[in-house]
Amino acid sequence: MLRYTARRLFFALPTLLAISLVVFALLELAPGDPMAQLPQTISADVRAQMREALGLGEAAHIRYTRWLYQLAVVEPMVGIDALFGTAFSEGAPRLLSWQTRAPVMALLGERLPQTLIVVGLAYVIGVIVAIPLGVWSAYRRGGAFDRAATGAAMLSYAVPPFFSGAVLIWLFAITLGWLPSVYDTGLIVRDWDSLVAQIRQMALPVLVLSVQTTAQISRYMRAAMLDALGQDYITAARARGAPEGRVLMAHGLRNSLIPVVSIVAVGAPQIFAGAIVTEQIFGVNGIGALLVSSVQATDIPTIMAITMVLAVLIVAFNLMADLTYGWLDPRIRYD
Amino acid sequence: MLLRSFARSFVTLAALAGPVSALERGRDGTLKILYWQAPTILNPYLSGGIKDIEAASLVLEPLARYGPEGVMRPWLAEDIPTLANGGISADKRSITWRLKPDLTWSDGSAVTAEDIRFTHAYCTAPGGGCSQADKFRGVADVEVLDPLTARVTFDAPRPNPYGPFVGPQAPILQAAQFSACLGPAAASCTEANFAPIGTGPFKVVDFRPGDAVQFEANPGYREPGKPAFADVTFKGGGTPAAAARTVLETGEFDYAWNLQLRPEMLSDMEARGKGRITAAFSTLVERLAFNLTDPDPALGDARSTLAHPHPVLSDADVRRALSMALDRPVMVEIGYGTSGRATCNIIPAPPAYASDANEDCLVQDLDGARAALDTAGWTDSDGDGVRDKEGRPLSLVLQTSTNAVRQDFQVLIKEWWRQIGVETELRNIEPSVFFGADPSSPDTFQKFYADVQMFAGASDGTDPEGYLSTWFCGRAPAPENQWQGANISRWCNPAFDALGEELSGTGGVEARAALARRMNDMLVQSHVVLPLVDRGRVSAHVLSLGGVEMNAWDSELWNIADWTRLPD
């Protein structure tokens, strides 16, 4: 197991390096100009000077090497300095966003809380609702509950968030006036009232997102459970006279959770990616909204930083899912 | 001791005078503003984006700015320097600004002429990438004459010397805060760029780039009792439709900026009775520009260059016919509603600068257009519905950026031109590519690898001298200048250039306006560029917000110090 983990970790590095090269090359080849959003009253030579100040005058390989150095060496050192009060990174050039001229990592840090709260909570709620839904659908396969759940799952999986979000805003914010349509990122939960305000502003985006997760995970759960319920050990348990609840929970659910856990784990990095559409609709302004606005403004350092952070997380979570798999199911041996 | 007891009795007196407190600073609580493009930096010299400039205008102020009618008003300056009051030297090479007395920064320190001098040094420092460097072009020196007076000297006579330190793009920075941020160090001053110290009615409390800004009233603001609001929540992000909704339908926000939406959608929202839509007009004109050079791909590197005149559009009669076929009022109705006005001038404002010689373009004249094409020798000889001449069909490529209104306009234009026997192929290009200046991309509006293109442009401020000079002969984009020229049509008329030279040497608003009108007429009457719609700025505010005076010449938030909460 240890050897396997070490080998996987070792191979993760070239994977990430390759991803970074591909991302850089794609952005390099893509059309677009960080000055395109400026008013046309700003003259061409001023634009050229501004591009120069962003470091765009240099050759691509120099920019790539510097970017890699900043991301892999300078930024981790800044993190270490912040944690332990050291001064390794003093004077080193940090990775700066072109839109804000401020460190990209600080920007990500500022955006992460609302993304984690809204998208993370929606993911957790979605999974928690999906598991009993899938279990019961499988247990009562073909019954009214199963058919209703299947229909609901298909519908909510098929309806895109830009539609469901708009409908919910129309209903709850405009017609009924119960909930706000814009998320206030500056709200700090201090007392009962601010907690209520936070719950009210989270309600709609969390609902839109969790419905999507529920739809997806409950299908996997149902399939896995059906698979488990058809196994011999279920028949054996029933033949032994085990009560139905025990058959379902201890024998069925525990075995069928294995594939579901790995799907949940592999899907978890999405939380950090934020929800591009939903964040935009409700003004949550998390990582997803940052990615969109950076793409619109051709803010390449920010786009690359978000993509790389996600790449690292996806590689890490995949590794974690694989390892958990082996631990949950002793039949799987990697060595 | 005496002073203290005097002060105490004064405080008691103030406390006794109860009703005065109704005009206290900050009496109206929180003002909530929504910009669907979020500000990403609050230093206008490093951004140039309108969202950033307007957010910063709550804090940073210039010496003079423009009112809603396009007339300059002294702001931090005591008055506007002119030739008459001696503020502008007789040789027009220098302008002397005098600050209002007793101005302070929000940290309590005094505003001095040294800050003016420093602001020029900041923007012109090499390696800083200052986005407002155009404003300081031709400035030889800024000297401090006394603590309240600064003199700007130009390297040549400047009849219109109101570029530097005028308008929200070029406000005064505090020298003490930015002194370590010159040149390449500009980007490292994150703290200063995110929370500049200013003289305006508000100061920055918290800035979340790309998300929200929290302002509070500047306790040292020069006018007593202002601003009426104690703090401002400046939220960014979302879409224009969502922004309009929060003001006009849910009332969650007090003010929403730049609502370019379908006219009927906006009027439906306004009909709910919660808010009001305001529009103001300056010089932003949606136009069609013709390519006077040949964009034929067969020409290779010589595509769209002066070496090859356009085989069809070099003929002024064809261009005139294409203009006559357009129904500008219909375009306004479909695309802009109250936020647009049909125009035949490339300079539609201020009133003194707007010519009245071109009004006939407002009426569509399809028969006239057909007749003009007939006379020019373009006839439909093979009966396929498309005119031709010497074996060449009258077929044009019309390109523009991807944008719902522009695509509607493309379809309209294609149909009108079909009716006069002109075939049109439509293209739309992603805005960041079209307006980006990447010389390696074939799709930029400067390269103009098409026959006609549609975009909007505006004059910077009220004086059109710099704007008109973009149509000078030597300004055509070409491979030699990395396609950076501003004369998109590649038009050249020495008589126009001569008028432009004359304009740059003429002082006095009347005379300058007369010259500008002549240049405008020369440009639009030769049909090099077809003005379509004079586009306004549209914003919305809730009915309970008072004092909003929409301004298209300056920041929309220019008079936020005067905004109040109206009683129900």
Q: Which helix (H) or strand (E) holds B144?
A: strand B139-146
Q: What's the mean pLDDT when you consider all of chain B?
A: 89
Q: In the prediction, which pLDDT does B107 show?
A: 93
Give pLDDT, residue A59: 81
Q: What is the pLDDT of residues B334-358, one digit of tens each?
A: 999 888 999 999 999 888 899 999 9
> Distance from A104 to chain B by nearest Cα, in Å?
11
Q: What is the mean pLDDT of residues B460-473?
A: 88
- Does the pLDDT value for residue B541 go beyond 90? yes
The domain containing residue B384 runs over which residues? 280-461+527-536
Q: Evaluate if residue A176 carries a pLDDT over 60.
A: yes
Q: Are B419 and B413 in contact (CB under 8 A)?
A: no
pLDDT score for B16: 43
Amino acid at A298: T
The predicted structure's pLDDT at residue A285: 86
Q: What is the pLDDT of residues A1-45, one digit of tens each?
A: 677 778 878 888 888 899 889 988 888 887 777 777 777 777 778
Contact criterion met (CB < 8 Å) for B438 and A31 = yes
The per-residue pLDDT for B351 is 87
Tens digits of per-residue pLDDT, B84-103?
Answer: 899 999 888 999 999 999 99
What is the pLDDT confidence band of residue B109, given thresholds at 50, 70 and 90? very high
Residue B436 belongs to some domain of the structure: yes
Total domains, chain B: 1
Classify strands B30-35 and B231-236 as parallel, antiparallel or unpaired. parallel
Strand partners, B286: B456, B533
Residue A326, pLDDT above cutoff 80? no
> Are residues A40 and B242, on separate chains, in Cβ contact within 8 Å?
no
**What DSSP character marks residue B135?**
G
Pick the residue of B30, B33, B51, B131 with the most A CBs within 10 A to test the interface with A by mutation.
B131
For helices A287-296 and A300-328, angle between their N-to-C axes, nearest 10 degrees:
140
CA distance to partner chain A, nearest, from residue B340 (Å): 19
Place B19 in a pLDDT band, splitting at 50, 70 and 90: very low
- The verdict on residue B235 lying in a domain is no
Torsion angles phi and psi, residue B178, rounded to 5: -105, 10
B460 in contact with chain A, both atoms CB, cutoff 8 A: yes
pLDDT of residue B11: 44
Which tokens hold the place of A245?
Answer: 């609840």
In our burial notation (b when 16+ CB lie closer than 10 A, e otherwise), range B475-507 reads bbbbeeeebbbbbbbbbbbeebbebbeebbebe
pLDDT at B21: 47
Q: B13 in a domain, yes or no?
A: no
Distance CA B460, CA B465 (A): 9
Picking from B41, B210, B431, the nearest residue to A285 by CB comes out as: B210
* pLDDT at res. A252: 85
B256 domain residue, yes or no? no
| Residues A47-69: tens digit of each pLDDT | 888 888 887 777 888 888 888 88
Residue B183, C-beta contacts closer than 8 angstroms, at least 6 positions apart: B125, B126, B127, B128
Taking the CA of residue A199 and the nearest CA in chain B, the distance in Å comes to: 17
Sign of CA dihedral B90, B94, B100, B101: negative
Q: Please tell me which of the candidates A182, A285, A298 has its beta carbon nearest to residue B252.
A: A182
Q: In which residue are the tokens 């396997």 written?
A: A4
pLDDT above 90 as % of chain B: 64
Residue B205 has pLDDT above 60, yes or no: yes
Q: Is residue B54 part of a domain?
A: no
* CA A233/CA B216 separation, integer angstroms: 68
ipTM: 0.82
Under DSSP, the state recorded for B566 is P
Confidence band of A335 (pLDDT split at 50, 70, 90): low
- Interval B161-190: pLDDT, tens: 888 999 999 999 999 999 999 988 888 888
* Residue A104 near residue A96, CB atoms below 8 Å: yes
The pLDDT of residue A281 is above 70: yes
Residue B349 lies in a domain: yes
**Length of chain A measured in residues:** 335
Confidence of residue B323 (pLDDT cuts 50, 70, 90): very high
Looking at the complex, does the CB of residue B317 fall below 8 Å from at least one CB of chain A? no
Distance of alpha carbon A163 from its chain centroid, rounded? Answer: 21
User: In whole angstroms, what is the distance from residue A214 CA to residue A221 CA?
Assistant: 10
For residues A153-160, average pLDDT: 88
**Position B318 pLDDT exceeds 90:** yes
pLDDT digits (tens, 9 = 90+) for B245-287: 999 998 999 999 988 888 888 889 999 999 999 999 989 999 9
> Is the model's pLDDT at B3 over the cut of 60?
no
Amino acid at B392: R
pLDDT at B184: 86
Contacts of B435 in chain A (CB under 8 A): 33, 36-37, 40
CATH value at residue B351: 3.10.105.10
For range B230-252, the mean pLDDT: 90
Percentage of chain A lying above the pLDDT 90 cut: 9
Residues of chain A contacting B441 with CB distance shorter than 8 Å: 31
Integer Cα distance of A160 and B196 in angstroms: 42
Beta strands in B75-131 (DSSP E): 94-98
The answer to whether residue A280 neighbours chain B at the CB level (below 8 Å) is: yes
d(C-alpha B474, C-alpha B383), whole Å? 42
The per-residue pLDDT for B559 is 93
Whether residue B486 lies inside any domain: the answer is: no
Tell me the two tokens of residue A18.
């390759």
* B69 pLDDT more than 80: yes
The 10s digit of each residue's pLDDT in B472-484 is 998 898 888 888 7
Strand B395-401 to strand B392-393: parallel, antiparallel, or no bridges (unpaired)? unpaired
Determine contact: B124 vs chain A, CB below 8 A.
no
To the nearest whole percent, how much of chain B has pLDDT over 70? 96
Task: Tell me which amino acid residue B113 is.
Answer: A
- The whole-number pLDDT of residue B110 equals 94
| Tens-place pLDDT, residues A196-234 | 988 998 899 999 889 988 998 999 999 998 888 888 888
**Can you tell me the distance from the alpha carbon of A272 to that of A305, in angstroms, rounded to the nearest whole number?**
13
Residue A334's pLDDT is what? Answer: 58
Tokens matching residue B418: 């079909």
Token duo for residue B101: 């007395």
B4 has a pLDDT exceeding 60: no
User: Is 90 exceeded by the pLDDT of residue B199?
Assistant: yes
Other residues' Cβ atoms within 10 Å of the Cβ of residue B188: 17
- With cut-offs at 50, 70 and 90, classify the pLDDT of residue A246: confident
List, as ranges, residues 508-547 from B with C-beta within 8 Å of A. none
Residue B4 lies in a domain: no
Task: Assess B439–A contact: CB distance below 8 Å, yes or no.
Answer: no
Closest residue in B to A110 (Cα) is B208
| Residue A333 confidence (pLDDT) | 61
pLDDT at B433 > cutoff 60: yes
* pLDDT of amino acid B10: 45
Query: Is the pLDDT at B291 greater than 70, yes or no?
Result: yes
B432 versus A220: which is more confidently predicted? A220
Q: Cis link prior to A205 (omega < 30° from 0)?
A: no
Mean predicted confidence (pLDDT) in B434-450 = 85
Q: Which residues contact B422 (CB under 8 A, 6 or more apart)?
A: B322, B325, B373, B386, B387, B394, B395, B396
The residue-averaged pLDDT of B527-534 equals 95
